[in-house]
Structures are given as structure tokens and as C-alpha cells.
Structure 1
Amino acid sequence: MGQTRTPSRPAKGKDRGGNPVSRWFKALGLFVSQILDELRKVVRPTRSELWNYTIVVIVFVTVMMALVAALDLGFSKLVGLVFGS
């Protein structure tokens, strides 16, 4: 009963789970399994939702192209008036 308790320390390298190569493969396996777990949670859109999203993107891009084209035309006319070309 008169013994003093000293904290035990694991040998160097043992506390990290083995050699570096096996730790790397364990980490890679864990990473891949976590990716697969997350992909199982993904909800894919239905055909009609995908069609609606596609139409929205096409309309948005068309509107933005028209806006940029109008600004480009307006600025080129303005520069032509200011510098007289």
C-alpha cells in the first residue's frame, strides 16, 4: 500500500497506432469510408426538378449575357463620343 503511483507512458510510436505506412493506409481508408457515408446521404433531384433547374440556369445566363452585352455597347458608344472616334 505504500507504493506511489507513477503515470505510465506508452513507448514512443505506440501511441499513434503503428508505423507511418499503416497509419497512412488507415487514415486513407477512414477518409474513403467517410466519403461513401456522405454520398449515401445525397438526395438526387427528380427529372422534373433537374429540368426546372436547367431552365433557370439557361435563362439566368442569357439575361446576364444580354446585360453585359448592353453595358459593353453603351460603354463603347460613350468612349466613342468622348474621344471622337
Structure 2
Amino acid sequence: MTDAVGSIDMPDAQDEAPDSKKSRKGGKRGKKGPLKRLALFYRQIVAELRKVVWPSRNQLTTYTTVVIIFVVIMIGLVTLIDYGFSHAAKYVFG
């Protein structure tokens, strides 16, 4: 029988990594000080926030209304279930 490609016994040529390169510890980022890393982090946050597509006032009003209505419905549902369970417990346990 033949071995499957990439089996444990016979690794593929891709699996064999040459060990000629030394592994760098930290790379370029590891050499920066904590303040430079903090500044880089802040710049990246600002860059990401500029990519955000903010909703219009109309969309925001619509989304807020939908959320409030959903929450009110869920409050009513939980209240009804709680009321039913409390009456069932009173009936069963006296």
C-alpha cells in the first residue's frame, strides 16, 4: 500500500522547513519603547474609527425605536411567565 500524502511517516516537501534562519525575538515591534507602542496603538484606533460608517439620524431613530419596542415586549413576556409560574407554585405548594 502507498502512504497518504503528508502522512506522519513521510512528510511532504512543504512540511520540511529549513532551519537556516534564526528566529527573531519580537521583530521590529519588539524594539520600540512602550510610549512608541502606545502612540502606534492610538494612531491605529483613530485610523479604524475613520473607516466606520456612522448611521444617519433617521437610521439611528429607527434602530432606537425598534430596540425599545423589542425590550418592552420582552419585559412583558418575562412578566407574564413569572406571573404564571408564581401562581402555579402557589397552587401546587398551597
TM-score, normalising length: structure 2: 0.66
Matched residue type, 1:80: K
Structure 2 residues not aligned, in runs of 5+: 1-27
Determine the C-alpha separation between the residues in 1 that align with 2:60 and 2:73.
20
Number of residue pairs the alignment of both structures matches: 66
Instruction: Tell me which structure has the larger Cα radius of gyration.
Output: 1
Instruction: Could you list the structure 1 runs, at least 4 aligned residues long, displaced by more than 6 angstroms after superposition.
Output: none
Determine the C-alpha separation between the residues in 2 that align with 1:25 and 1:73.
57
Counterpart of 1:74 in structure 2 is 84
Counterpart of 2:49 in structure 1 is 39
Residue correspondence of structure 1 range 1-85 to structure 2 within 5 A: 16-17=30-31, 23-84=33-94
Matched residue type, 1:47: R
Q: CA deviation at 1:45?
A: 0.5
Tell me how large the CA RMSD over aligned residues is: 1.4
Q: CA deviation at 1:54?
A: 0.6
Query: Cα deviations across residues 45-74 of structure 1 (Å, max 9, x unaligned)?
Result: 011100100110011000100010000100
Structure 1 residues not aligned, in runs of 5+: 1-14
Determine the C-alpha separation between the residues in 1 that align with 2:49 and 2:89.
53
Determine the C-alpha separation between the residues in 2 that align with 1:47 and 1:41.
18
SS at match of 2:54: coil
Q: Comparing both structures, which one devotes a greater share of its residues to helix?
A: 1
TM-score, normalising length: structure 1: 0.73
